[in-house]
Amino acid sequence: MDGIFNVAKPAGITSFGVVARLRRLSGERHVGHAGTLDPDATGVLPVCLGRATRLVEFLVNTTKTYRAVIALGAATDTYDASGRVTQRGDPSAVTRKQVEAALGAFRGAIHQTPPMYSALKHQGRPLYKLARAGLAVARPSRPVKIHRLELTNWKPPLATLEIECGKGTYIRSLAHDLGQALGCGAHLKTLTRTRCGSFGIEEAVSLEQLEAAFSEGRQGEFLHPPDTIITDLPVAIIDEADEPALRNGSPLALDIEVIDPPSRYWRAYAADGRLLGILAYEAGTGLWRPKKVLV
Going from N- to C-terminal start, the domains of the chain cover 3-62+198-228, 64-196, 233-293
Amino acid at 161: L
How far apart, in whole angstroms, are the C-alpha atoms of residue 107 and residue 144?
10
Q: Using an 8 Å Cβ cutoff, are 12 and 39 in contact?
A: yes
User: Residues 6 or more apart from 223 whose CB is under 8 A from it?
Assistant: 1, 3, 4, 5, 49
> What is the pTM for the complete model shown?
0.91
Cα–Cα distance between 211 and 135 in angstroms, integer?
A: 41
Does domain 3-62+198-228 fall into CATH 3.30.2350.10?
Answer: yes
- Measured in residues, the chain has a length of 295
The burial class, CB within 10 Å (0-12 / 13-18 / 19+), for 1 is middle
Same topology for domains 3-62+198-228 and 64-196, yes or no? Answer: yes
Q: Is 242 a catalytic residue?
A: no
What residues contact residue 251 under an 8 Å CB cut-off, 6+ apart?
Answer: 245, 282, 285, 287, 288, 289, 290
What architecture (CATH level 2) is domain 233-293?
Roll (2.30)
Q: Does domain 64-196 have CATH number 3.30.2350.10?
A: yes
The dihedrals phi and psi of 161, each to the nearest 5 degrees, come to -115, 145
Phi/psi at 101 (5° precision): -65, -40
What is d(CA 208, CA 195) in angstroms, rounded to the nearest whole number? 20
Backbone Cα Rg of the chain: 22
Per-residue pLDDT of the chain (295 residues; tens, 9 = 90+): 899 999 999 999 999 999 999 999 999 999 999 888 999 999 999 999 999 999 999 998 899 999 999 999 999 999 999 999 999 999 999 999 999 999 999 999 999 998 888 777 777 878 878 878 787 887 888 999 999 999 999 999 999 999 999 999 999 999 999 999 999 999 999 999 999 999 999 999 999 999 999 999 999 999 999 999 999 899 999 999 999 999 999 999 988 888 767 788 999 999 999 999 999 998 888 889 999 999 8
pLDDT of residue 214: 97
Q: Of the listed 38, 80, 177, 227, which one is catalytic?
A: 38
What does the alpha-carbon distance between residue 79 and residue 245 come to, in Å, rounded to a whole number?
Answer: 50
Which residues, 6+ apart, have CB-to-CB distance to 256 below 8 Å? 236
β-sheet bridge partners, residue 122: 125
Whole-angstrom distance, CA of residue 163 vs CA of residue 183: 22
Question: CA 65 to CA 87: how far, in whole Å?
Answer: 28
Query: Which candidate, 187, 195, 192, 209, places its Cα nearest to that of 38?
Result: 192
